[in-house]
Amino acid sequence: MFYCIYLMLLALFKNSKTAVIPLSAFLVLLLIVNQFKIHYTMEPVLFTDLLLLNDAGSLADIMGDTFLSTFVSMLPSMLLIAVVFVIICIAANIFSLRFDDLKARIGATAASVIVLLVLFIPNPVMTKLMNKTFFEVIAEKDNHTTSNIAYYNKHGFIAGMYGQLISNRFVEPKDYETCIADIEKELAVLENTPCSGEWKKPNIIMVFSESFWDIDKMEDIHFDKPVTSNFNALKDKGIFFDMISPSYGGISANVEFEMLTGSSIKYYGSGYIPYMQLMTSDYYYNTPSVIKVLNDNGYDTTIASTWSDKLFNCKNVYEYFGVKNTFYNTDMQAAELKGGRISEKYVADRIMGYMNSKKKGTPAFYMFLTAQTHMPYPRDRYTEKEYDIKIASKGNISDFAADSLRCYAQGVYDADKQLGRLYEYIQTLDEPTLLIFYGDHLPYINEEDGSDAYPSFSHFNTGDPLKDTFRKYNTQCLILGNFDLGEDNIDILGPNLVMPYIFSRTDLKVPAYFKWLAERKDGLAAGNTFIYADAKKNLYTKEDLPENLKEDLHRQECLNWHFFVEGR
């Protein structure tokens, strides 16, 4: 790929020096950006990262607090890279070659363009050939890796970027036509099957709690007081279950995508962001969404985000969904801040303010995306007076990681405190109201040199690879109400099945698509690219799924293809 780009530059500039130097400069820049990306997210650079440049302001806000210290820590390696670049430039100048033959230059350019078109223009036949020949993305060759970094280590940085790109290209599921024909018969039956109706038509408050995780579960790291006391106390008053997040350390939009559509990232591949890569045409006005269901049932639908309207293309996506009211950080200029971000208290206050002022008798859906617990986690993000907790025992983790963990845990502590407030508040409401509270993904805690700190956490290093992978992607969901929710024995659900499950217990008019998904809770209940779970929380890799769960996964993928991919 880069050799083709080199040939094109050589043909354009007619000598090797002016071809080598700009290409080398680009690769050096890419390498440096990759190191920063890994430092902040434990993920390497992906082709899809170019799409995030649309909201560079939010990215700068995320990195701003620690950029200088990160830059200083990386300075030695960047100086080494600079020295190598200088040597390349000197060598390119000494051994410069001319390329003056016009026909040869035209031929080299044409050949390079053809190769690049073959490499980058989506083609199912070429995609399968490249995957099988170079990237071995088939179970028989044991290509299972549990992160994009592991994938890049296996294939190299540039080849890893390209392999990740083509692995995310759309390929119609095997035997799709037969499978979807069978599913459509099931959908026809479900279309006229009513939901249980036991929860009637409640208001729905959804708190999308940034990086919230029950940190009190860790065996060897303890705080001087419970961090998630309300969350754990309320488990017995509502419906609690584990989830498998599609992401780790970031890309909250993928969790939101699953929650609001019933689709799942596991059908698209690691590194894919449907909000930015899939939902880019008017076709998506017609695809299923939780918001459309609620609108059709007379709900006032609102999404309030503490982030920019450009981040992850959310403004356009919310329009496709039909969200009636949207609010972003620019609409929250007077918001109370804590740790430099919109506080958890402000979020709770705003939710209660909306519920107090909403039209009586009109059911409401109000979803709030929080920010206070977002990375990074420098020790001085909060003043000592703002810290409510201390680490009592830190196990084997470093002092630096312990300080970062304390910073993160303070955000969780504040979110948990507001959860308690919101629960007490909804008990005062006359209208039936549900409160759905969940974390989107685990945080990325790093060492002082930017490396991942989790290898020193015993909680994530049990010696059982399946359990360790599950714990890395495991968050939880808590459904609370101001009325009797009854009982339900749910151990685990994917984010994509949470709202179908909730719909199944209301008396709303719900499309067969969501009813069909609700039935999946008894089969393949959760999963992402790396780990899967059945309804009893038995864990599997994709390659090791029992035949009945493989079939369930295939059928879910076919349904997803039918609604989200086929007509795009």
Span 468-485, pLDDT tens digits: 999 999 999 999 999 999
Give the phi and the psi of residue 102 in degrees, each rounded to 5.
-60, -45
Whether residue 537 is predicted with pLDDT greater than 90 in this model: the reply is yes
Q: Are residues 233 and 132 in the same domain?
A: no
> Hey, is 77 helix, strand or coil?
helix
Buried/exposed code over 500-524 (b: 16+ C-beta within 10 A; e: otherwise): bbbbbbbebebbbbbbbbbebbeeb
Would residue 41 count as lying in a domain? yes
- Lowest-pLDDT range of 9-13, 46-50, 296-300, 410-414: 46-50
Domain that holds residue 455: 178-565
> Percentage of residues in the chain with pLDDT exceeding 70?
83
Q: Are residues 273 and 150 in the same domain?
A: no
DSSP for residue 562: I
Last residue of a domain, which of 167, 194, 215?
Answer: 167
Q: Are residues 21 and 106 in the same domain?
A: yes
Determine the length of the chain: 568
Give the separation between CA 317 and CA 246, rounded to whole angstroms.
19
Q: Are residues 194 and 87 in the same domain?
A: no
CA distances from 46 to 43, 70, 122, 417, 481 (A): 8, 21, 17, 37, 41
CA distances from 232 to 172, 213, 367, 451, 478 (A): 43, 11, 22, 31, 10
Going by pLDDT thresholds of 50, 70 and 90, the confidence category of residue 137 is very low
Would residue 504 count as lying in a domain? yes
Last residue of a domain, which of 167, 192, 214?
Answer: 167
Whether residue 230 is predicted with pLDDT greater than 90 in this model: the reply is yes
Among candidates 168, 211, 171, 210, which has minimal Cα distance to 46?
A: 168
Per DSSP, the residues of 497-548 read HHHHHHHHTS-S---HHHHHHHGGGGSEEEE-SS-EEETT--EE-STT--HH
CATH of the domain at 283: 3.40.720.10
DSSP for residue 87: H
Would residue 337 count as lying in a domain? yes
Number of domains in the chain: 2
DSSP for residue 475: E
Q: How far apart are the first and last CA of the chain?
A: 29
Q: Are residues 213 and 97 in the same domain?
A: no
Span 436-495, pLDDT tens digits: 999 988 888 888 877 788 888 888 889 898 999 999 999 999 999 999 998 888 999 999
Task: Copy the structure tokens of residue 273.
Answer: 């962001």
Span 377-406, pLDDT tens digits: 888 899 999 999 999 998 888 999 999 999
Q: Are residues 388 and 453 in the same domain?
A: yes
- Lowest-pLDDT range of 11-20, 181-190, 274-283: 11-20
Q: Are residues 277 and 131 in the same domain?
A: no
Going by pLDDT thresholds of 50, 70 and 90, the confidence category of residue 124 is low
Give the phi and the psi of residue 194 in degrees, each rounded to 5.
-70, 155
Among candidates 563, 567, 558, 560, which has minimal Cα distance to 177?
A: 558
Q: Are residues 225 and 280 in the same domain?
A: yes
Q: Which helix (H) or strand (E) holds 341?
A: strand 341-342
CA distances from 233 to 21, 209, 215, 486, 491 (A): 62, 18, 14, 18, 17
Whether residue 54 is predicted with pLDDT greater than 60 in this model: the reply is no
Residue 44 sits at the vertex; the CA angle it makes with 42 and 49, to the nearest 5 degrees, is 115
Identity at 376, one-letter amino acid code: P
C-alpha gyration radius of the chain:
25
Would residue 299 count as lying in a domain? yes
Rounded average pLDDT over 30-52? 65
Q: Give 565: exposed, middle or buried? Use CB within 10 Å, 0-12, 13-18, 19+.
A: buried
CA dihedral (214, 218, 224, 225) positive or negative? positive
Would residue 173 count as lying in a domain? no
Query: For tokens 């392999």, what's the residue?
Result: 163
CB 36 within 8 A of CB 70: yes
Last residue of a domain, which of 167, 191, 221?
Answer: 167
What's the pLDDT score for residue 245?
A: 93
Whether residue 66 is predicted with pLDDT greater than 70 in this model: the reply is no
Q: Are residues 367 and 460 in the same domain?
A: yes
What pTM does this model have? 0.80
CB 474 within 8 A of CB 491: no
Q: Are residues 308 and 210 in the same domain?
A: yes
Rounded average pLDDT over 198-218? 94
Query: For tokens 């190191």, what's the residue?
Result: 35
Would residue 172 count as lying in a domain? no
Average pLDDT for the chain: 85
- Count of CB atoms within 10 A of residue 244's CB? 26
What's the pLDDT score for residue 364?
A: 97
Would residue 434 count as lying in a domain? yes
Q: Are residues 163 and 197 in the same domain?
A: no
Buried/exposed code over 211-242 (b: 16+ C-beta within 10 A; e: otherwise): bbbbbbebeebbbeebbbebbbebeeebbbbb
What's the pLDDT score for residue 45?
A: 67
> Hey, is 481 helix, strand or coil?
strand
> Hey, is 15 helix, strand or coil?
strand
Give the separation between CA 386 and CA 339, rounded to whole angstroms.
9
Q: Are residues 389 and 473 in the same domain?
A: yes
Partners of 239 in beta bridges:
479
